[in-house]
Structure 1
Amino acid sequence: MITKIQKRSFYLLFLLFTFTISSVAAQSTVVTGVITDAADKRPVPSVTVIFKGTKIATKTDAQGKYRLSAQMASTHIEINYVGYKTQSVPVKAGQEQQINIILQEDSQSLNEVTVNSAKKAKYRNKDNPAVELIRQVIAHKSLNRLESDSTVEYQQYDWMQFSLSNLSEKFKNKKIFKNYQFLFDEQDSTAVGGKNILPVYLRERLSQYYYRKSPQKTKIITLADKHVNFDDGLVDNNAIGNYFERMYADVNIYDNNIVFTNSQFLSPIADGAPAYYKFFITDTLKNQQPQLIELSFIPRLPNALLFEGKIYITMDGKYAVQQAFLKTGKDVNINFVRALEVKLNFEPDFRGKFHLVKSHLLMDFGLGNEKGRGFKGERSVTIKNYKTNIPRPDSVYSGESLVMAAGAENRDAAYWADNRLDTIGKDKLKIYGNIDTLGQMKSFKRMMDLVTFFFIGYKNLGPVEIGPLYSFYTFNNLEGFRLRFGGRTTTDFSTRFYMDTYAAYGFKDEKWKYFFSGAYSFNNKSIYKFPQSFVRASFRRDMSIPGEEAVNGVQEDNLASSFRRGVNDKFLYNDFYKVEYQQEYLNHFSFNIGFRKWTQSPAGNLVFARQTDLGPQQLSRLTSTEFNLRLRYAPFEKFYQGKLFRERIIEKYPVFELDYAAGVKGLFGGENAYHNLTASIDKRFYLGQFGRSDVRLEGNYLFGQVPFPLLRIHKANQSYSYQVYAYNLMNFLEFVSDHYVSLNVDHNFNGLILNRIPLLRRLKLREYVTFKGLYGGLRNENNPLMNSSLLQFPVNEDGVATTYHLGNRPYMEASAGLGNIFKVLRFDVVRRFNYLDHPDVAKWGLRAKVQFEF
């Protein structure tokens, strides 16, 4: 039986419990909001938000959103993110509230890291806990890399923008921009690129990635692709995208080297990183799960291709990178690049293994100092739906590595709104409309038309374009003053049929030269754009210099090539009849099959002469007919497509070429039967802090008996410009072969030596060394010294031979040069090592080259 006292005690305890519960509930603090970047207003994922003085923390999602709650009366939240200033923000205790945070970049230089002691300690790797930590990270790289799983798949959203930056109000308000004010945008003046930017390019891409370890295969399916489109007559839109992608390549901190533009940076967690970086433990974050160590680093040599920054390492025994902030110092030797920043974010999967979920890259380009006008490039990558070790059928990995899904380039706004993996502001999306509006403005069209004419060389007149400008006037010893006028049709004329023509006249030889070609495109695209698929027939009557023209016998004249050194008196008049079929595939394999009839007539002091039973005989012409086949494979190749040529964006991937020509005697007047086979490999080798080497290996063998004009006339250079793939101290028509192997190595040290010299390192010069070797010979059947019935080698006015074949010694030359002079010039001192007894040769030479590179 319950007494009254017990009842009263029960009621008292009940009321006390209820009050306690109510009090706790009343003190519950809930904070939500969005965290964005002050510079570009974009949401920032993986930011740590914590109730100050507690271990209660959360992280923002891919949209920058967070939610933090605690059953206590908290008064402040603290916001931490690598590369940004830490903030402490007051909150209302015991309430639910929304607080949006704007992060400001932390621009403090890590070069100011100091050691607090009475006497500054000398930095050393031995017994340094920071170095021991980084060595553990290096030792665990193989476990933390993507490739350690049997399969990996994920979706990736890629956003890229390129803008004119750091524009002053005075520049913005110039008369020329009066009608273009809608293009300008503003940003934080402390951000990379400065205040007032003029966006000129934007690209978004959504892709599905598949990776299989064994057998190794990567498959990338582009689900959606959207980018700014300029007038195709003025700008190659795909080429712009390819070039920007090359500049803003994917960043994998677990690789030993990270390539930006044409420069290779050493990763702070590369195998040899402790020899190039200084490391400092600058913080421990015990309120994280897992706990993190903040590791700061700076380069030992300021000008070297190294980073400074911070990485956050997990303290769970896996030593994985959870966040990273990398940037270049102001003295780093990258041409035109004034600043570079990279932010990387990693998140754990269900196993606790960290994978990349967000990367953000900024580059500031310019000719002058940090305050001058320049270009700002920005790329952001978001990764979601990350899955590992899921077996897929072989059909998923079959076919091409890069695939464009049907309709990927025509996705509507609704698709993008539903499928973007990241938030992009309306101010960014308006760039599409701005550029479309710009492209319709007559004043902009006139300006771009003028720029195209002077820099590319063609004047667009709708269905046709006139040019090239740089070939209008040239001169040489045979023709004297030469004028040329040409043009070709555009896609406004037809997307199937293309015509190209020019006419030239030499005022000294008083001869007309001309060219005409007609082509039919099978894929209804321009024959100059990838992937090419066309058939073309052409006729060319023109002059050339033996040993200067390209392998196919076509020489494109320009004013710069008119200035030549030494004796230059041997020429050819050529008639080319040619039919060819060109086919390229998306995997960058291509073939060209064709037929040509080539008639050569000697000119100048060149003579076609041979010995007969009746005495010396001179020939007025030499005719050959041949079938040609060229195979080319350039995996993952990217290039910029110009009006007349493609400029390959050189990367680490090799390029293979195989050329075969079969001469047919008796067909259309062909005088010789032969088979000519040439193979070559081009490859760039990145050698870390020692720079990079571009290597070309080539071999050739000619089967059959032919006169010397049909032998391989090795490519010489008698101009004052430096040519990478020619012999710069060899004379025209100096060496011929019917079999040879050649090696060309052009090495760029990227300032490895000069960066260590205090006064010179400010100039950011780069050292080059080049070696060129040619080893081959001439069989007796093709040697006119052994067979008098062949056309005899040319001689000079004194009767001394000027054409030779290689003997037991290879031809060798080398050069040492300085590049990045005034950002655009390279000078090389060239040394020829042998065959110095030949007439009119030089042992030394100085050559210059305009060379733009980053």
Structure 2
Amino acid sequence: MITISRKSFYGLTALLCFYGLKLSAQQTQVSGKVTDSRDKGPLPNVTVIFRNSRTATKTDENGNFSLSSSAPYTQLSVEFIGYKTKYIAITPSKSQVVNISLQEESQSLSEVKISSKKAAPYRNKGNPAVELIRQVIEHKPLNRIESNQNVEYQQYDWMQFSLSNLSDKFKNKKIFRKYQFLFDKQDSTEIGGKNLMPIYLRERLSDFYYRKNPEKKKIIMLADKHVNFDEGLVDNNAIGNYFERMYADVNIYDNNIIFTNSQFLSPIAEGAPTFYKFFITDTLKTHDPPLIELSFVPRNQNALLFEGQIYITMDGRYAVQDAFLKTGKNININFVKALQVKLNFEKDSAGRYYLNKSHLLMDFGLGKDGSRGFKGERMVTIKNYKTNVQRPDSLYKGMEIEVSPEASKRSEAYWNSNRLDTIPANKLRIYSNMDSLSKMKSFRRMMDIAAFFFVGYKKFGPVEIGPFYTFYTFNNLEGFKPRIGGRTTTDFSTRYFFDTYVAYGIKDEKWKYFFSAAYAFNNKSIYTFPQSFIRASFQRDTEIPGDETKNVITEDNFIASFKHGVNNQFLYNDFYRAEYMQEYANHFSFNISFKKWTQRPADALVYKSFSGGLPQYTSQITNSEFNLELRYAPNEKFYQGKVFRERIIEKYPVFDLNYSVGVKGFLRGENNYHSLLGSIDKRFYLSQFGRSDVHLEGGYIFGQLPFPLLTIHRANQSYAYQTYAYNMMNFLEFVSDHYASIYIDHNFNGLFLNRIPLIKKLKLREYITFKGLTGGLRTENNPDLHSGLIQFPVNPEGIPTTYFLGKTPYMEGSVGIGNIFKVGRLDLVRRFNYLDNPGASKYGLRARIQFEF
């Protein structure tokens, strides 16, 4: 038993209190918040550590942290991937609040140089960095989201588009004197730099569901808010679709990542070691689990590849914890000066890493020096991530993307309480800024002028006049052919739409005209998805045989007026049309139509047959035809304008089936027949080897018909390259009642030219094409065997100029150079057979305007 005197007890107590006070005084406590220096937004998952220690923490989702130690540390080290490490002085043995602002890392890997007397050649063999990336590739199936049976989460994303890098001189120009409220200051170290003029912002909040077996996805869009321009100036849907196309989702676990219709090879794709150089540049042992920093650069600086860093977990999963990707300055993409992507991953309850935040920045340079341009930005935040939650089958029924009826009607209070991330106040100001801008007369005038040059129409109240490229055309039959046309817009009516033009041939002294009237059942423009309308029209105009398309109007244009070879066979056509068009949300559509077509041969074209050995001349042919067209385009997207719609070509196929029946005796129709026509369009992405657009088509006509009613294969005698025509075939050269064809257009995206010194600076792109056609005429439709049928045309020497295909298919191909001055393409076309036909040329040079990134 130990006894302590009262005096000793008091002394011991005093001593303990003294030491207790001393220990308390030595406790170093630091708390605070870490933010982005550029937009002042909070940064989650930032590592905060007492320097030269193992005492560390990470910031929470709001950027807050708290760190304490009994040791008297004097500095904090603040580390975050994609940002410059910052060292903060602190007072030891004291409780304090420190708010920290981090700056993005802007240094390019290509600018880092390691000097030595003799650099060792880079090799994959025996390279530990390559061995590591191969482990990452091998473990990809384990780390992908699809490795879970069921996944669900909530996603918030915003994207912004701005005029960027604007100098003070540019900002203060007289034209912008009234628009100063639009400008924002920007950190000069950020891509884009200096002054910004934000012009578009979109926010979305969605619930995402994934089921592995059977595989299904469901996205329910809960809220959607975006800048709304005056509908009379700009089509908001078209803008939204265009920006959404540019700011694609980034999944580093996919082999390829698509930006602006260009395919980049992921640094962890199966073939990545062939195209990238990898280096182990750091280990981060303060992380849990520890990380290896793996840096990479492209072997070819002009190729569609990234440079940057990925951070790999050292826990046996070889998962990507964080990634920083960017493009080099020499990359073969038009106008894109810089592209940066930051990806941050978090560990779920099963130990897998899922993407919880991505940040994309794109800088587009315009002008001679590319200094001014556009800046695009998109931030995606994922929260409430759950795995293996069973959901009923009913959830996955219907469309993959479902939009809540209230999505576009959400209040400010809803957005303020449901945004999953903090968005700076200056970004939200764009909503009111653009509303004010749209009401300014000077801006409306500027947009009106821009619409005329880019769309081709000039607006006058509720109508538009145009398109301007059809005002002046010419041909051998009509000579100079002035034309004026116009159409109504939704300002006139959202139910009724009218379209018209009138033209006059100076040489043939004949009027041509067109008029159509349509009624929209869905109270929207007849061009708006999903289409639902009826339309009736009448058209009287000239046409080259075989040049008829599915469009209501076959547009003339000034450039197509220039043709080579003999071009003296025409038709005067009268078309009466009526149609019902219905499109559905799943991109299936049908079109039921009726067409009465009266054609009269003109110029050198003569419809001649024989009866009893004597020639008979047919002045006109009248046909009455009913038609059903079925079309299915899964996951189709398009640029939707108010009075136009342009399909965005993607990897998904488009199927089209057309059935027609001609009825003799109905409205003076002269022939009975049935016709089937089908086609498939598909784009194939081949990673670093480019992409191929493939079009397959086939048709069969049942019944005996004169050749003008059979399939006259579409030829091209202009100097402009046409995708869906045979560019070395002469007009009316081949006719079929059954055929199959294939078109292949392959873009190498500079795969070869990017390797040639000096040439690679031009950022040209190589193309090859092939077009093949097989078909023929059945005996019953061969005018050589039936003199009573209209005979094939002949030239002045009596030599036939129209043929049908034999056992050998018609073939042509081309090699081309694209991206000439960023908008031009030139093809050398080679015709491989049927070279003995009159007027057949073996080679031809064709050009086209082809704008692409």
TM over 0.5: yes
Query: Which residue of the partner structure matches residue 719 of structure 1?
Result: 718
Out of 362-371 and 807-816, give the one that drifted further: 362-371
Q: Offset at 1:559?
A: 1.2
Residue 73 of structure 1 deviates from its aligned partner by: 2.8
Contact 2:241 2:640 in 1 (8 A): no
Cα pair 1:367 1:374 within 8 Å, conserved: yes
Q: Is the 8 A contact 1:675 1:704 kept in 2?
A: yes
Alpha-carbon distance between aligned partners in 1 of 2:484 and 2:61, rounded to the nearest angstrom: 58
Counterpart residue number, 2:497: 498
Counterpart amino acid of residue 834 in structure 2? Y
Q: Which moved more, 1:758-767 or 1:453-462?
A: 453-462
What residue number does 2:754 align with?
A: 755
Deviation at 1:835, TM superposition (A): 0.7
CA distance in 1, matches of 2:804, 2:336: 47
Aligned to 1:699: 698
Instruction: Report the counterpart of residue 275 of structure 1 in structure 2.
Output: 274
Query: What corresponds to 2:156 in structure 1?
Result: 157
| Shift in alpha-carbon separation, 1:438–1:115, aligned structure 2, 3 A | closer
Deviations 1:646-688 (A, max 9, x none): 2211111111111111111111111111111111111111111
- After TM superposition, give the deviation of residue 274 of structure 1 in Å: 1.1
CA 1:33 to 1:586, structure 2 compared with 1: closer, same or farther past 3 Å?
farther
- Once the two structures are superposed, what CA deviation does each residue of 1:716-766 show, in whole Å capped at 9, x if it has no partner? 111111112211111111111111111111111111111111221111111
* Structure-to-structure mapping, 1:650-729, within 5 angstroms: 650-729=649-728
| Alignment deviations for residues 434-469 of structure 1 (CA, whole Å, 9 cap, x no partner) | 111000011111111122122212122222222221
Amino acid at match of 1:77: L
1: CA distance between counterparts of 2:126 and 2:78? 34
Paired with 2:104 and 2:415, the residues of 1 have a C-alpha distance of: 30
- What is the Cα deviation at residue 641 of structure 1? 2.8
1:96 and 1:655 map into 2 onto residues whose CA distance is: 66
Residue 642 of structure 1 and its aligned partner are, at CA, apart by 4.2
After superposition, give the CA deviation of every residue in 1:274-317 in whole Å (9 maximum; x if it has no partner). Answer: 11111111111111101111111111111111111001111011
Q: Deviations over 1:179-206 (max 9, x none)?
A: 1111111101121011111111111111
Matched residue, 1:25: 24
Corresponding residue for residue 776 of structure 1: 775
Counterpart-to-counterpart distance in 2, 1:835 and 1:388: 63
Which secondary structure does the structure 1 equivalent of 2:350 belong to? Answer: coil
Give the aligned residue type for 1:737: S
Q: Deviations over 1:18-74 (max 9, x none)?
A: 333333333333333333323333333322222212222222333333333334333
Deviations 1:478-517 (A, max 9, x none): 1111121221222122111111111111111111111111
Q: CA deviation at 1:371?
A: 5.7
Identify the range of structure 1 (69-78 vs 183-192) with the bigger mean alpha-carbon deviation.
Answer: 69-78
How has the CA–CA distance of structure 1 residues 829 and 642 changed in structure 2, closer, same or farther, with 3 Å as cutoff?
A: farther
Which residue is 1:259 aligned to?
258
Which residue is 1:736 aligned to? 735
Match of 2:815 in 1: 816
Change (3 A) 1:370 1:458: closer
Alignment of 1:507-522 (within 5 A): 507-522=506-521
Gap change, CA 1:484 and 1:371, over 3 Å in 2? closer
> Within 2, Cα distance between the matches of 1:418 and 1:698?
53
1:149 and 1:370, CA in 2 relative to 1: closer, same or farther beyond 3 A? farther
For residues 9 and 787 of structure 2, the distance between their equivalents in structure 1, rounded to whole angstroms, comes to: 129
Q: What TM-score comes out, normalization by structure 2 length?
A: 0.98
* RMSD, aligned CA: 1.7
Say if 1:24 and 1:796 are closer, same or farther in 2 by CA, change over 3 A: farther
Q: Which residue of 1 aligns with 2:851?
A: 852
Matches for 1:292-307 after TM superposition, within 5 Å: 292-307=291-306
Q: Kindly report which structure 2 residues correspond to 1:599-610, keeping only aligned pairs within 5 A, or say none.
A: 599-610=598-609
State how far apart, in whole Å, the 2-side matches of 1:642 and 1:780 are.
Answer: 48
Which stretch has the larger CA shift, 39-48 or 170-179? 39-48
Instruction: Give SS of 2:429's match.
Output: helix
Match of 2:589 in 1: 590
More moved, 639-648 vs 50-59: 639-648
Asked if structure 2 preserves the Cα contact closer than 8 Å seen for 1:515 and 1:538, the reply is yes
Contact 1:338 1:369 in 2 (8 A): no
- Alpha-carbon distance between aligned partners in 2 of 1:363 and 1:418, rounded to the nearest angstrom: 29
Q: Distance in 1 between matches of 2:32 and 2:522?
A: 52
> Which consecutive residues of structure 1, in runs of 5 or more, have no partner in the other structure?
none
User: Deviations for 1:254-292, whole angstroms, at most 9, x for unmatched residues?
Assistant: 111111112111111111111111111111111110111
Equivalent-residue separation in structure 1 for 2:799 and 2:107 (angstroms): 71
TM-score, normalised relative to structure 1? 0.97
Contact 1:201 1:227 in 2 (8 A): yes
- Secondary structure of 1:734 counterpart: coil
| Inter-partner Cα distance in structure 1 for 2:157 and 2:795 | 63
Distance in 2, Cα, partners of 1:696 & 1:150: 37
Tell me what 2:174 maps to: 175
In structure 2, the CA distance between the partners of 1:778 and 1:30, relative to structure 1 (3 Å rule), is: farther
The corresponding residue for 2:145 is 146
Aligned length: 853
Task: Provide the C-alpha distance between the structure 1 equivalents of 2:791 and 2:96, rounded to a whole number of angstroms.
Answer: 95
Task: Give the distance between the partners of 2:64 and 2:840, measured in 1 at CA.
Answer: 72
Distance in 1, matches of 2:46 and 2:572, equals 71
Q: Residue in 1 aligned with 2:209?
A: 210
Equivalent in the alignment of 2:561:
562
Q: Secondary structure at the match of 1:197?
A: strand
Q: 1:713 & 1:645 partners in 2: Cα distance?
A: 28
Q: Shift in Å at residue 369 of structure 1?
A: 6.8
Is residue 548–residue 717 contact of structure 1 (8 Å, CA) maintained in 2? Answer: no
Equivalent-residue separation in structure 1 for 2:674 and 2:23 (angstroms): 93
Distance 1:27 1:458, change over 3 A: same
Contact 1:680 1:696 in 2 (8 A): yes
When residues 16 and 800 of structure 1 are mapped into structure 2, their CA distance, relative to the original with a 3 A threshold, is farther
d(CA) in 2 for partners of 1:140 and 1:405?
A: 37
Q: Which residue of 2 aligns with 1:618?
A: 617
Tell me the equivalent position of 1:534.
533
Partner of 1:808, secondary structure, is coil
- 1:345-366 C-alpha deviation (Å, 9 max, x unpaired): 0011122211000001111112
In terms of mean alpha carbon deviation, does 333-342 or 73-82 score higher?
A: 73-82
The amino acid of 1:185's aligned partner reads D
Matches of 1:456 and 1:30 in 2, distance apart?
Answer: 63
AA at the equivalent of 1:300: R
Q: By how many angstroms is 1:225 displaced?
A: 0.5
Instruction: Compute the displacement of 1:645 (Å).
Output: 3.8
The residue aligned with 2:395 is 396
Q: Tell me how far apart the structure 2 counterparts of residues 265 and 2 of structure 1 sit (CA, whole Å).
A: 79
> Post-superposition shift, 1:232?
1.9
Is the 1:233–1:460 contact (alpha carbons within 8 Å) kept by the matching residues of 2? no
Return the offset for 1:399: 0.7
| Change beyond 3 A, Cα 1:700–1:53 | same
Aligned-partner Cα distance in 1 for 2:832–2:644: 34
Deviates more, 1:540-549 or 1:51-60: 51-60
**1-side partners of 2:89 and 2:272: how far apart?**
41
Identify the residue that residue 765 of structure 1 maps to in structure 2: 764
User: Greater shift after overlay, 662-671 or 102-111?
Assistant: 102-111
Q: Deviations over 1:192-234 (max 9, x none)?
A: 0111111111111111111111111111111000111112222
Rounded Cα–Cα distance in structure 1 between residues aligned with 2:5 and 2:395: 75
Q: Give the match's secondary structure for 1:254.
A: coil
- The within-5 A match list for 1:632-647 is 632-642=631-641, 645-647=644-646
Asked if the contact 1:45/1:358 (under 8 Å) is kept, the reply is no
CA contact (8 A) 1:144 1:320 kept: yes
AA aligned to 2:414 is Y
Distance 2:450 2:107 in 1: 41
Q: Distance in 2 between matches of 1:633 and 1:653?
A: 11
Quick check: 1:326 aligned with 2:325? yes
The amino acid of 2:93's aligned partner reads G
Change (3 A) 1:271 1:9: farther
TM-aligned CA deviation for residue 370 of structure 1: 6.7
Q: What amino acid maps onto 1:656 in structure 2?
A: F
Local SS of the residue matching 2:666: coil
